């Protein structure tokens, strides 16, 4: 296949239980003009061998084996070799509805848009073959002509990259920041800042599997705190340079929400109290620096998060911890 319409990039790392379902959902797509770039990111289980197996099924499946670079590094490898006019990302423990590409491509071509969003369908079930036959006319389309502003205001325009179909020319030289978690937030913010238009298709076409062993569900640690800090700083720097008129809105809708998420995830996902308090101490140090530089603020936070942030800035991580534990609002 020399020039497919769509390149689907699938990062792979230790997902032998889920990978066949993920790749079978691509084999069962009703739209057939695509390539699959499977990036084996140094998997230590049989995931790499499974990818090799699918690469033998036809020229639509390409596998690349590399040393571990993390999710962003694997996605960037896929972007380097992608030949399609459009790009999509599929995490290897998730799967597509069989009409994902058909409907997303219809919207992309009919609307001549830089990006199409669909909805997530949360599932705790492993892949099973899903009936095809969805029709575009059965779902609402919403068009956005000020993508950066709309992204900040519209809840339907979520940060996860996997619910989107991107026009490759609109991506340009944009890549994922490596070495951090939560890279989708930064990538989507930067992309929406350069996009000319966007369309949301109100159809649940991406099946997000709740995997207890995935990056998003493992214990919260220092690297995750610092990843949120890095994302906050990068989003702020980008907005200040390219969209200064939206800086207050970005602070409220993206930056301060990450402050809240950092506190919430530490509390919920780090079950060891002493380790959690250490994370709160680290947050206090970093948030104080960000606050002094006017990068974060209290705007948009719920009352309990405002109180917790206030005490974190004062170096009172135990009071901040207990505030979030006790207050129900």
Residue 259, pLDDT above cutoff 70: yes
Q: Which candidate, 24, 33, 96, places its Cα nearest to that of 59? A: 33
Provide the mean pLDDT of the chain.
Answer: 95
- Report the pLDDT value the prediction gives residue 217, as an integer from 0 to 100: 57
Backbone φ, ψ for residue 10 (5° rounding): -120, 100
**Mean pLDDT to the nearest integer, 200-215:** 84
Q: Report if residue 77 sits inside a domain.
A: yes
Same domain, 20 and 153: yes
Q: Report if residue 1 sits inside a domain.
A: no
Q: For 164-175, what is each residue's pLDDT tens digit?
A: 999 999 999 999
- Report the pLDDT value the prediction gives residue 212, as an integer from 0 to 100: 63
- Report the pLDDT value the prediction gives residue 210, as an integer from 0 to 100: 86
Same domain, 201 and 229: no
SS3 242: helix
Residue 247, pLDDT above cutoff 60: yes
Q: Report if residue 136 sits inside a domain.
A: yes
CATH number at residue 209: 3.90.550.10
Residue 2, pLDDT above cutoff 70: no
Min mean pLDDT across 166-175, 242-251, 266-275 is at 266-275
**Mean pLDDT to the nearest integer, 38-62:** 96
Q: For 53-89, what is each residue's pLDDT tens digit?
A: 999 988 899 999 999 999 999 999 999 999 999 999 9
Q: Which candidate, 148, 200, 235, 162, places its Cα nearest to that of 8? A: 162
Same domain, 155 and 273: no
Same domain, 197 and 273: no
Same domain, 110 and 241: no
Place of tokens 């109290």: 273
Domain boundary among 199, 215, 231: 215
Query: How do strand 34-41 and strand 61-66 relate by DSSP bridges?
Result: parallel
Q: For 117-163, what is each residue's pLDDT tens digit?
A: 999 999 988 898 899 999 999 999 999 999 999 999 998 999 999 99
Same domain, 108 and 198: yes
Domain boundary among 215, 231, 252: 215
Same domain, 59 and 201: yes
- Report the pLDDT value the prediction gives residue 59, as an integer from 0 to 100: 86
Same domain, 152 and 260: no
Distances (CA, A) of 196 to 115, 181, 267, 280, 287: 9, 27, 39, 40, 34
Sequence-distant (≥ 6) Cβ neighbours of residue 177 within 8 angstroms:
72, 183, 186, 187, 230, 234
**Mean pLDDT to the nearest integer, 93-106:** 97
How many separate domains does the chain show? Answer: 2
**Mean pLDDT to the nearest integer, 271-291:** 96
Q: State which residues form the domain around 90.
A: 6-215
Q: Report if residue 35 sits inside a domain.
A: yes
Same domain, 36 and 142: yes
C-alpha span between 166 and 130 (Å, rounded):
24
Same domain, 132 and 250: no
- Report the pLDDT value the prediction gives residue 213, as an integer from 0 to 100: 59
């Amino acid at each position: 296949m020399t020039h497919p319409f769509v390149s689907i990039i699938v990062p792979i790392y230790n997902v032998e239980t889920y990978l066949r379902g993920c790749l079978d959902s691509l084999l069962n797509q009703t739209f057939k003009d695509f390539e699959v770039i499977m990036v084996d990111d140094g998997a230590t289980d049989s995931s790499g061998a499974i990818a090799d197996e699918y690469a033998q099924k036809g020229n639509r499946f390409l596998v690349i084996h590399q040393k571990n670079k993390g999710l962003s590094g694997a996605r960037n490898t896929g972007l380097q070799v992608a030949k399609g006019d459009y790009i999509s990302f599929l995490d290897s423990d998730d799967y597509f509805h069989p009409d994902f590409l058909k409907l997303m491509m219809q919207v992309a071509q009919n609307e001549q848009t830089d990006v199409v969003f669909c909805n997530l369908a949360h599932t705790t079930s492993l892949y099973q073959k899903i009936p095809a036959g969805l029709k575009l006319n059965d779902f609402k389309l919403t068009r956005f002509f000020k993508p950066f502003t709309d992204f900040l205001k519209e809840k339907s325009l979520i940060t996860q990259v996997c619910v989107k179909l991107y026009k490759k020319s609109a991506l340009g030289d944009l890549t994922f920041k490596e070495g951090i978690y939560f890279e989708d937030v930064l990538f989507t913010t930067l992309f929406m800042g350069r996009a000319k238009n966007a369309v949301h298709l109100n159809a649940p076409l991406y099946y997000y599997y709740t995997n207890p062993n995935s990056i998003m569900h493992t214990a919260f640690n220092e690297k995750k705190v610092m990843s949120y800090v890095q994302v906050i700083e990068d989003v702020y720097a980008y907005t200040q340079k390219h969209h200064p008129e939206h800086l207050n809105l970005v602070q409220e809708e993206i930056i301060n929400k990450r402050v809240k998420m950092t506190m919430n995830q530490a509390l919920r996902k780090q079950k060891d109290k002493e380790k959690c308090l250490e994370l709160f101490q680290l947050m206090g140090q970093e948030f104080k620096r960000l606050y002094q530089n006017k990068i974060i603020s209290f705007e948009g936070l719920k009352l309990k998060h405002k109180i917790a942030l206030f005490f974190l800035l004062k170096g009172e991580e135990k009071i901040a911890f207990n505030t979030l534990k006790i207050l129900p609002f």
